Structure 1
Amino acid sequence: MVEPVLSLKSVAVFQKESMILNGISLDIRPGEFVYLIGKTGSGKSSFMKTLYADLPLKEGNGRIVGFNLKTLREEDIPFLRRKLGIVFQDFKLLPDRNVHENLKFVLKATGWKEADKMKERIDTVLDKVGMKTKGFKFPHELSGGEQQRIAIARALLNDPELILADEPTGNLDPQTSVEVMKVLQEINKAGRTILMATHDYALLLKYPSKTLKCDGSKVFEVVQKVG
């Protein structure tokens, strides 16, 4: 049996002292594409933040890409995040440098040293998201969809075992959302595991997949109706 990339048992999610979600038990296996849905304020972002250790796991047991979230030490968080690709709603690109330098900044921050290897890796990930010719452009010169493609490329830099995409199409129009979704689908087909928080139900209908729902302080799998 293949080890799950993410395994949670009786997990509660807290924001400071207040419990947002509780009783979460779930597994995500390598190669799966999983949606996380729920209304605004239902706890999706807090759930995601717990997975990449922005919020501590205080209750229950959780393992993600080989790390134990319960016993995770502060100094191990960068190593955990190196094995995760995180895509945010608002792109989080550095405005004062071009695309190539944005990606190089991440590689340097995660321990890459050799210039030629960094360049090769950057070219590879930009090619994967259809942005190979845009490396010299600054974020403000790109459309929202292009910026999100760069953000996805950035998430791929360290060859992550799991991509956490938190509302990656939240700031995009419907047509651009579909284009970004196609990029994520291709990455998933190439073997990446993706957990994507979204409230864009049109995408769920267009690209049905395993779906988890945040509702009433729980997270549970929902069966999508076909037709």
Structure 2
Amino acid sequence: MSDTILELKNAAIFQKDSLVLNEVNLEVKKGEFVYLIGKTGSGKSSFMKTLYGDLPLREGTGSIVDFDLTKLREKKIPFLRRKLGIVFQDFKLLPDRNINNNLSFVLRATGWKDAQKMKLKIEDVLGKVGMKTKGFKFPHQLSGGEQQRVAIARALLNDPELILADEPTGNLDPQTSVEVMKVLQEIHKSGRTILMATHDYALILKYPSKTLKCDGNKIFEVVQRAV
């Protein structure tokens, strides 16, 4: 098992037939926290979708958590996603069931059977995001920040090797964004690797880390100057 968790070489990212990013060369190592920045429409989401198998990698080479993205077949995508934790901007919680049942739904869908083990796992991940007492609530009874915490808990259920967070604070006010960011920082400190797409520059200044930028059909590393 190498230290490299994500690597792309001369990759081209397409959205349908249009080229979004070209000559992408990057590497993310185990334990890193990496930001992906860029204007709306610069290719961040298409890039993320390519990483979790929603868009095919048609040119160049790429590997993520030991999966070859150029050879990724439809039937392998669920196995890839079990090794990834994906956090979306709009939470994607199921509105017709409470938080515990949202999480147990994911566990069952990924092959868990033992009810006691599932219960303990759900308590564990909700504890990690400060939501241990909220499992009986329904999504609409929670604030946006609380819903995003639950979404992060859901991403942790299968002990992912890499967390892909696509604009996780995009729908949150600044104060709540910082709270959610603190949760992600704690998770990172526990040894998780996180790639986070964001356009929230205030957060990057507050929690500086390796930063990749999408601009002009390219992705490149930005050297952060001390503010």
Smaller-chain TM-score range?
A: over 0.9
Write the deviation string for residues 107-152 of structure 1: whole angstroms up to 9, x where unpaired. Answer: 0000001100100100000000000000000000000000000000
Matches within 5 A, 1:207-222: 207-222=207-222
- Give the stretch that moved more between structures: 1-10 or 76-85: 1-10
Q: Which residue of 2 aligns with 1:205?
A: 205
Q: Which residue of 1 aligns with 2:6?
A: 6
TM-score (norm 2): 0.99
CA distance in 1, matches of 2:190, 2:2: 18
CA distance in 1, matches of 2:87, 2:3: 24
* Number of equivalenced pairs: 227
Gaps of 5+ in 1: none
Q: Which residue of 1 aligns with 2:98?
A: 98
Structure 1 ranges of 4+ moved more than 6 A:
none
Write the deviation string for residues 147-178 of structure 1: whole angstroms up to 9, x where unpaired. Answer: 00000000000000000000000000000000
Q: How much has 1:82 moved relative to structure 2?
A: 0.2
TM-score (norm 1): 0.99
CA distance in 2, matches of 1:132, 1:156: 14
Letter in 2 for 1:170: G
Gaps of 5+ in 2: none
State the percentage of identical aligned residues: 78
Q: Which residue of 1 aligns with 2:136?
A: 136
CA distance in 2, matches of 1:73, 1:52: 12
Q: Which residue of 1 aligns with 2:159?
A: 159
Letter in 2 for 1:152: I
Q: Which residue of 2 aligns with 1:61?
A: 61
Q: How much has 1:73 moved relative to structure 2?
A: 1.0
Coordinate RMSD, CA, aligned: 0.8
CA distance in 2, matches of 1:138, 1:2: 41
Q: Secondary structure at the match of 2:70?
A: coil
